[in-house]
Amino acid sequence: MKVEFNEQALLKGLAENDTKAIETIYKENFNMVQSFILSNNGSYDDARDIFQEAMIALYEKAKSESFVLTSKINTYVYSICRRLWLKRLQQMGRFVLQTDSFEETVQVEDDLEIHEKRNAEFAIMERALNSLGEPCKSLLEGYYIKKLDMQELAKIFGYTNADNAKNQKYKCLTRLKKLFFAQYNIGE
Amino acid sequence: MEDILLLQAIERYLDGTMLPAEKAYFEQLRKNTPEIDQMVVEHSMFLAQISAFADRQQFKQVLHHSHNKLMETGEINEGSAIHSKGKIVMLWNRYKKVTAIAASVAGAIAIITSAMFAYFSPAVNVSQLQQLSKDIEVIKHNQQLQGSLINEVKSKLPENARLISGGTGFLIDTKGYLITNAHVLRGSGAIVVNNKGQEFTASIVNIDPAVDLAILKINDKDYQPLKYLPYSIAKKSGELGEEIFTLGYPRNEIVYTQGYLSAKTGFDGDTLSTQIQMNSNPGNSGGPVLNKKGEVIGILSTRQTHADGITFAIKSRNIFSLVNHLNLVDSSKNNAKIKLPIKSYLANNNREEQVKKMEDCVFLVKAYNN
């Protein structure tokens, strides 16, 4: 049952949403990050938070077309977590790291910048969705996020036919776009 | 209503469900109507955005599941078991008030005591100084890293050893005697690593916390003594404004830094040390400070925390007293006496050559506890 993944295969699996690859990367790196966070004034929740954020960054990097990882996965994950955590400590106004560890790190500033920009965009999308109200929000989430088809959605929401549901979906979409672009363009 | 029809058309156009004739017509329309063209671009961008958003949401779910699954299988864990937590919470709730009162009383006493202490004590304010050794919390990964540096040699750290600090050390005798700062050696043992990543076991021969110096001896059969040391240890401490440089291990790799001698005494007029202007980092502790003739005039030790580039070095003549003392004490035993290098072979070299010749003599020191 045990499959030997090498790093490239792991990253490929990650980009393809392969559960096995995700779990492997998860368990091979989580403890290291957790002990780093715990020994630098963090809690278990912080550790989980920061680690998952780094996993997302790695995932989105692995999916991008121009993807090249020039370091080992654990070095990369550690570097991201370290940066994120230092930043959070600074935001909390604590004095940080008089001492540093022997860990090897790589430059992740550029990647993090991209990641943060994405986070900001997704936050706009989330806010826009949340301010839509029901049933618009669930309808759009059903179609675009859960990827259900119009027939199913009509059934769930009780529309008499798929065409009506579709019409409604377009109305909602127009509103969502307005909300999204109103904020997105300010953000630019 | 028209908007919706248009949106519908755009979406069908983008996901490729239009019939060829319809598509051709639509493309013509796009070409002729900039507004529609703009809408198509905008919508395609929006769809990309929402699909990336969907992807992100799903991945978060997957991570959440993975976390819970791995917690259940015990492959990762978060602290103590839940029932014991319950007990602690209960106790906490019960004794909250008492604890709060006790804590505030203790706090008040602590503040008063420290205020009095600060008022009456003329001592050096230690917090203004930072020792330049490195503290280590996480070690597992580091050992892996060591493993990757030297594939053929296993790490010489004893099993279960925890690295607690690190710094720099340099040879003062080709037989394998190194000098470093006492504060670098906070653990129960030490290993040293040369600039090629090769590790050697070492023992602490003499340690003097008062001058913050220590002598290590490499006692490893893999260690091959160098023919000679290129630098010398100077008895005088140099002139103000003199250009100086150091080699050290603020990273796992050897790093060169330069500066100048800025005062003849150290922090708060300390006569054992000198002040130098140089950017130093944790890990530089114990590194040699050399003048341009290649004479060691000091051992880098601390820096002032709230000032930029103010670093202190212990004067090299302290090495002489430490070594003389050791030679006297040890003369009874069969230990070979330490002979400090007194002639520098670097005087006529340029800086690159000096550094190149010295690299082999400067080691990364790692202290551990087991």
Q: Which two tokens stand for residue A70?
A: 């020039």
What is residue B332's predicted lDDT score, i.e. its pLDDT? 55
One-letter amino acid at A92 equals M
Contact B56 A181 (CB under 8 A): no
Give the model confidence (pLDDT) of A142-181 as tens digits: 888 888 888 888 888 888 888 888 888 888 888 888 888 8
- Could you give the CA distance from residue B133 to residue B166 in angstroms, rounded to a whole number? 6
Contact A44 B78 (CB under 8 A): yes
Is the pLDDT confidence value at B86 over 70? Answer: no
- Nearest-CA neighbor of A52 among A44, A65, B316, B267? A44
Say what the alpha-carbon torsion angle B140, B187, B121, B274 is, to the nearest 10 degrees: -90
| Residue B197: CB atoms within 10 Å | 16
Contact B138, A33 (CB under 8 A): no
Contact A2/B at CB under 8 A = no
Is the pLDDT confidence value at B124 over 70? Answer: no
- Could you give the CA distance from residue B72 to residue B85 in angstroms, rounded to a whole number? 18
Sequential DSSP letters for B118-137 = HHH--S--GGGEEE--EE--
Pick from B8, B43, B66, B72 the residue to mutate for testing the A interface (most A CBs within 10 Å). B66
- What confidence category does residue A100 fall into, taking pLDDT thresholds of 50, 70 and 90? very low
Taking the model in full, what pTM does it have? 0.46
Nearest beta carbon to residue B66 from set A23, A121, A126: A23
What is residue A55's predicted lDDT score, i.e. its pLDDT? 93
List the 118-137 stretch of A: residues with Cβ below 8 A of B: 118, 121-122, 125-126
What is residue B326's predicted lDDT score, i.e. its pLDDT? 80
- What confidence category does residue B147 fall into, taking pLDDT thresholds of 50, 70 and 90? very low
From the CA of A171, how many Å to the nearest CA of chain B?
7
Query: Which residue in chain B has the smallest CA separation from A15?
Result: B59
Percent of chain B with pLDDT over 70: 81
CA distances from A49 to A3, A52, A55, A84, B102 (A): 28, 5, 10, 10, 34
Contact A17 B62 (CB under 8 A): yes
For chains A and B, CB pairs below 8 A equal 124
Which residue has better confidence, A33 or B2? Answer: A33
DSSP A93: T
Contact B7 A173 (CB under 8 A): yes
What is residue A99's predicted lDDT score, i.e. its pLDDT? 41
User: Chain B partners of A102 at a C-beta cutoff of 8 Å?
Assistant: 134, 136, 139, 142, 145, 163, 166, 252, 366
Is the pLDDT confidence value at B149 over 50? Answer: no
One-letter amino acid at B164 equals I
**Which residues have a Cβ under 8 Å from the Cβ of A131 and sit 6 or more positions away?**
A179
Secondary structure, 3-state, A44-65: HHHHHHHHHHHHHHHHHHHHCC
Pick from B17, B41, B56 the residue to mutate for testing the A interface (most A CBs within 10 Å). B56
What is residue B330's predicted lDDT score, i.e. its pLDDT? 63
From the CA of A134, how many Å to the nearest CA of chain B?
18
Give the model confidence (pLDDT) of A116-129 as tens digits: 888 888 888 888 88
- Of the ranges A50-59, A68-77, B86-95, B151-160, which is most confident? A50-59
DSSP B143: H
Residue B49: phi, psi to the nearest 5?
Answer: -65, -45
List the 7-66 stretch of A: residues with Cβ below 8 A of B: 17, 19, 22-23, 26-27, 30-32, 34-36, 39-40, 44, 47-48, 52, 55-56, 59-60
Range from A32-41, B39-48, B67-76, B89-98 carrying the lowest mean pLDDT: B89-98
**b/e B22-44 (16+ beta carbons within 10 angstroms → b):** eeeebeeebeeeeebeebbeebe
What is residue B288's predicted lDDT score, i.e. its pLDDT? 94
- What confidence category does residue A3 fall into, taking pLDDT thresholds of 50, 70 and 90? very low
**Which residues have a Cβ under 8 Å from the Cβ of B206 and sit 6 or more positions away?**
B214, B215, B322, B325, B326
Instruction: Compute CA B64 distance to the chain's CA centroid, rounded to the nearest angstrom.
Output: 32
| Residue B152: CB atoms within 10 Å | 4
Contact A171 B4 (CB under 8 A): yes
Q: Mean pLDDT across the stretch B150-173?
A: 72
**Which residues have a Cβ under 8 Å from the Cβ of A163 and sit 6 or more positions away?**
none
Sequential DSSP letters for A113-124 = HHHHHHHHHHHH
Is residue B172 helix, strand or coil?
strand
Contact A181 B42 (CB under 8 A): yes
- Nearest-CA neighbor of A180 among A146, A153, A140, A134? A140
Is the pLDDT confidence value at B266 over 90? Answer: no
Give the model confidence (pLDDT) of A8-56 as tens digits: 888 888 888 888 889 989 988 998 888 888 888 888 888 999 999 999 9
List the 154-173 stretch of A: residues with Cβ below 8 A of B: 166-167, 170-171, 173
- Could you give the CA distance from residue B315 to residue B294 in angstroms, rounded to a whole number? 15
Q: In whole numbers, what is the pLDDT of chain B averaged over residues?
A: 80
What is residue B87's predicted lDDT score, i.e. its pLDDT? 52
What is residue A93's predicted lDDT score, i.e. its pLDDT? 62
Is the pLDDT confidence value at B143 over 80? Answer: no
CA distances from B254 to A61, B42, B147, B246, B249 (A): 32, 52, 18, 10, 5
Is the pLDDT confidence value at B88 over 60? Answer: no
Is the pLDDT confidence value at B299 over 90? Answer: yes
What is the value of ipTM here, to two decimals? 0.83
Which residue has better confidence, A159 or B358? Answer: B358
- What confidence category does residue B244 fall into, taking pLDDT thresholds of 50, 70 and 90? very high
What is residue A50's predicted lDDT score, i.e. its pLDDT? 92
Nearest beta carbon to residue B141 from set A26, A40, A78: A78
| Residue B254: CB atoms within 10 Å | 21
- Could you give the CA distance from residue B287 to residue B302 in angstroms, rounded to a whole number? 11
Q: Mean pLDDT across the stretch A127-136?
A: 84
What is residue B89's predicted lDDT score, i.e. its pLDDT? 57
Which residue has better confidence, A100 or A157? Answer: A157
Which residue has better confidence, A90 or B351? Answer: B351
Percent of chain B with pLDDT over 90: 19
Q: Mean pLDDT across the stretch B88-111?
A: 74
CA distances from B280 to A100, B77, B258, B271 (A): 13, 38, 9, 21
Burial class (CB in 10 A: 0-12, 13-18, 19+), A152: middle
Q: Mean pLDDT across the stretch B73-89?
A: 60
Instruction: List the beta strands (DSSP E) in B151-286.
Output: 162-173, 177-180, 189-193, 199-208, 213-218, 232-233, 243-248, 255-263, 273-277
Give the model confidence (pLDDT) of B179-207 as tens digits: 998 888 876 778 888 878 888 888 888 88
Residue B369: phi, psi to the nearest 5?
Answer: -120, 140
